[in-house]
């Protein structure tokens, strides 16, 4: 009885984590959507900006979700929580370096 309840709780927790990550990612992608609308004046530019906004929104949503999940896990599973924080920091760093590199190349 306790094993079944524990299994059900784990399943519910993972479903909620995945749904939360999808909602955060969708929210960030929606926030970045006006970039594609502005670029839609030139059709190919709108598609490129839309794809870029979706990709960046996905990565930011993933990193943000990892940070929230990691903060919750640091108390009970410190190594896993710290690993997730490191993964999120790496994602943020890659986005920052990639964005900064394009600014330098454009100048």
The string of pLDDT tens digits covering residues 65-102 is 888 888 888 888 889 889 988 988 898 888 888 777 66
**Does residue 19 have a pLDDT over 90?**
yes
Quote the domain boundaries for residue 28. 2-106
The number of domains in the chain is: 1
**Does residue 107 have a pLDDT over 70?**
no
**Does residue 8 have a pLDDT over 90?**
no
What pLDDT is stored for residue 23 in this prediction?
93
How many CB atoms lie under 10 A from the CB of residue 41?
A: 8
The residue length of the chain stands at 107
């Amino acid at each position: 009885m306790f094993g079944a309840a524990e299994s059900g709780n784990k399943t519910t927790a993972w479903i909620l984590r995945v749904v939360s990550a999808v909602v955060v990612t969708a929210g960030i992608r929606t926030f970045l959507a006006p970039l594609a609308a502005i670029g839609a004046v030139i059709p190919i530019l709108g598609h490129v900006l839309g794809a870029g906004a979706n990709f960046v929104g996905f990565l930011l949503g993933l990193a943000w979700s990892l940070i929230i999940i990691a903060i919750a896990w640091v108390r009970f599973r410190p190594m896993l929580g710290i690993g997730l924080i490191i993964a999120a920091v790496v994602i943020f760093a890659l986005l920052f370096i990639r964005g900064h590199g394009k600014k330098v190349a454009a100048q």
